[in-house]
Structure 1
Amino acid sequence: MHTPIPQNSRLSNGDAAVSAALASTNNGGTAEIRRKSRRKPSVTDATLAPRQKRKAPRERAARTWVDDTTALLERNQIRMSVVLMAMLGAAHALFPHLRPMLRKFYAISYYKPETGMYGKGLDDLYLVFFWIVLFTFLRSTVLDYVFVPLARMGGITTRKGVVRFSEQAWLVVYYGSFWGVGMYLLYNSPYWLNMQELWTGWPLKELSGLFKWYYLAQFAFWLQQIFVLNIEERRKDHYQMFAHHIITCSLIAASYTHHLTRVGHVILCIMDVIDILLSAAKLLKYLGYSTICDYAFGIFLVAWIVGRHGLYNWITHSVWKDSIAIIEPGCYSTSGELIPGREADLETIWKSITFQSEEICYTLPVQRTFLALLVFLQVITLLWLYMILRIAWRVVRGIGADDTRSEDEDELDDELEELKKR
């Protein structure tokens, strides 16, 4: 549940493309770009794969209505978010009889005065939807009006450099905030440094207000990430990222409906701190602090291996061994007692995860489903580890750390844009 290392860099052959573009420009502009193209690569220009010849830019395919729709959504993220939130606010103010329903968008549902805790139900989706809209508004607004100006103040001149700096700065803010909340909840929980407590007392159907908001907001963030991934410019690793986000959202949703939020909470904390380190290292790279970036990358590499291949697999092992040892497989009643002879068929499981029944089942097929999702996520993480180790080898060789997705094509685009202005 994290922001991963991107896929292989794009290998393009820009020398021919640049030469063709230069032929149509004046001599002064030509000399400048040639000097730029002949300069010795710096540490911050290094890419994961060896530098190869660039290919000429491909002609764009004819645009479809899907392309036009996604472009419209991408350009109007702030406007759409403001309109939706304004409509909810206006309806809440003008139509008092709708307030009980509209309140579900803003407040946590299923409060139980007798315990001071919150239950779960389908009404929680209202809050998730609201936070998807709010995250869309916050992300777009902060990127456009805070981080883009900061990137330019920091000396970043390329279009893609500004965009990537802004994206990573937003992720540092998000992960930093939610990792802080998550660690506060974890430190004050009974399962702090105690793996067995992840399973004791299951099913825990009630949550504190802060914990429930934290978990649903994390779910909303990852759903919003799928939205962003599909409306903004696609990158080389689009499908890997899409698969990662789908698995992450599936794990969060399944752990919530199956009352395994303790396990999900620990995994989120492990992943978030690593994402902070990754995004921070990228920010240093974009700002040109190459040496500090390499040290930050080293810290990130250690944290990645310990967190995503050490602690994560420890938790996966606990799902495999401890969960069945502590939770007797079967279906449980509202009071949490095992129902003798109750079969966990698909209908029973479906009703429990859609909150149509108070019964909840934890059986071997359910456990194996969770294990399969965790293993799939680990496979993707191992593929990214391979890419990280290749970057680490570049650092050892003195070339420097860089994003695995090459910025060559983006730098070529920027050069061509400058030529067109002359």
Structure 2
Amino acid sequence: MTSMSAWIWSESFWLPPNVTWADLEHPPPGEDFPRAGHILTALPLAIGVLAVRVIFERLVAKPCAHILQIQAGASRRAQPNALLERVFTSTTSPDSRRVEGLSKQLDWDTRKVQRWFRLRRNQDKPATLTKFCESMWRLTFYLGIFIYAIRYLWVSPWMWDTRQCWYNYPFQTLSPGQYNYYMAELAFYWSLMLSQFTDIKRKDFLIMLIHHLATITLITFSYANNMLRAGTLVMCVHDASDILLEAAKLANYAKYQRLCDGLFVLFSIIFFITRLVIYPFWVVYSVFVESWVIIGPYQSWWLLNGLLLVLQVLHVFWFYLIARIAIKALFKGKVSKDDRSDIESSSEEETDTSSRNKSHLSPSTEPSNGHVPTGGGTHEH
């Protein structure tokens, strides 16, 4: 176990040449350096965040939803059927050949089999009220943490001169603002990961699980090797656009379509400015170029810069998806739905099935809605 820990926390990998972990254990009197043990504080904080979320959703979000006339709604349940339930565990949308086979086995019409699978899929999808409460909680957190970050960073010298991120690195003392910001972000992402196992599972469960793990890993390592100044800039840049995305989703759930479209277009603009302008030409430039000049590259330096560049590639891809939806909102007047969890429309599927039958085309999988990049596209740090 000791050799494994030594390998994971290898000084030659994580720290610049001629710097050891022991050097960071003795900060100047009255000051402190980040310690790996501090990270454990985020775990009980994450439980506290989950508790606050439950209280917030019940006492704040749900009353707001009722004011906006957003009801929980009870989706129709599929009648119990052991055979279809076994098939559903392997495929939630069977193809036409499988449907025809099940139709013969059960002596049901194919439309009835298709309807059963549609109802069964909808049983596992959250109601609009649930999604509204989740989005309102995330909006509240993002707005609060962003305001805190701006107030803290506004008086920090490295926000205005990013070279300050690297002077005297890694012997940079830990400020209360940095500690609070990091622990809040880390606890929040731990809470998101833990809540995935208790919330209703969605299509992107695995993607979001990997995303949360990667985010937690990056925050943890940047804290452990005292790259906090650059880390706070990265997190702040990413939180800025998330506020507008959650606000747009709230407007969509409340059926204020024009407000939703306007917020989404504004989100697209802020996303472009923060992720495709500020992030690469300000933050990544500092981590890649200025740190090279001031402290020089070392092993983990290559890893961290590689991850930041991969993230930039994802930003370009996400913006492409976002721009398509924003353009549709501008010219067609409606933002496409988020296909992670929207309840399927019975009339739409039946109409679509009918039109395919009239065209002598075999039924296939249901047409998917335009996808709004949600959680997985806007939280990476």
* TM-score grouping bracket, smaller chain normalisation: 0.5 to 0.7
Q: Which residue of 2 aligns with 1:342?
A: none
Q: Is the 8 A contact 1:281 1:293 kept in 2?
A: yes
Misfit runs of 4+, over 6 Å: 110-113
TM-score by length of structure 1 reads 0.59
Cα offsets for 1:397-418 (capped at 9, x unmatched) = 32411443265535659xxxxx
Q: Which residue of 2 aligns with 1:285?
A: 252
TM alignment of 1:12-51, pairs within 5 A? none
TM-score by length of structure 2 reads 0.65
TM alignment of 1:202-213, pairs within 5 A? 202-213=169-180
Cα distance change on mapping 1:403 and 1:323 into 2, 3 Å = farther
Q: 174-183 vs 209-218, which deviates more?
A: 209-218
Among residues 366, 373, 394, which one is paired with 2:307 in the alignment?
373
Separation in 1, partners of 2:70, 2:238: 29
Q: 153-162 vs 182-191, which deviates more?
A: 153-162
Separation in 1, partners of 2:312, 2:204: 17
Q: Which residue of 2 aligns with 1:137?
A: 51
TM alignment of 1:46-85, pairs within 5 A? none
Q: Which residue of 2 aligns with 1:123?
A: 37
Q: 162-171 vs 309-318, which deviates more?
A: 309-318
Q: Is the 8 A contact 1:247 1:377 kept in 2?
A: no
Q: Which residue of 1 aligns with 2:285?
A: 317
Cα offsets for 1:27-53 (capped at 9, x unmatched) = xxxxxxxxxxxxxxxxxxxxxxxxxxx
Q: Is the 8 A contact 1:387 1:404 kept in 2?
A: no
Among residues 317, 326, 341, which one is paired with 1:383 in the alignment?
317
Separation in 1, partners of 2:343, 2:287: 44
RMSD, matched Cα = 2.4
Q: CA deviation at 1:389?
A: 1.8
TM alignment of 1:181-200, pairs within 5 A? 181-200=148-167
Q: Which residue of 1 aligns with 2:185?
A: 218
Separation in 2, partners of 1:311, 1:371: 16
Q: CA deviation at 1:205?
A: 4.3
Separation in 2, partners of 1:284, 1:396: 16
Separation in 2, partners of 1:267, 1:383: 18
Q: Which residue of 2 aligns with 1:173?
A: 140
Equivalent pairs: percent with the same residue? 26
Q: Which residue of 1 aligns with 2:332?
A: 398
Cα distance change on mapping 1:227 and 1:383 into 2, 3 Å = farther
Q: Is the 8 A contact 1:274 1:303 kept in 2?
A: yes
1:409 partner SS: coil
Q: Is the 8 A contact 2:70 2:254 kept in 1?
A: yes
Separation in 1, partners of 2:26, 2:134: 36
TM alignment of 1:296-311, pairs within 5 A? 296-311=263-278
Cα distance change on mapping 1:147 and 1:156 into 2, 3 Å = same
Cα distance change on mapping 1:389 and 1:328 into 2, 3 Å = closer
Cα offsets for 1:200-223 (capped at 9, x unmatched) = 221134212232122122111112
Separation in 1, partners of 2:158, 2:338: 37
Separation in 2, partners of 1:326, 1:228: 42
Question: Does residue 1:409 correspond to 2:377, yes or no?
Answer: no
Q: Is the 8 A contact 2:57 2:133 kept in 1?
A: yes
Question: Does residue 1:154 correspond to 2:88, yes or no?
Answer: no
2:158 partner SS: coil
Separation in 2, partners of 1:210, 1:310: 26
Cα distance change on mapping 1:195 and 1:209 into 2, 3 Å = closer
Q: CA deviation at 1:111?
A: 11
Ranges in structure 1 where 5+ consecutive residues have no aligned partner: 1-109, 330-362, 414-422
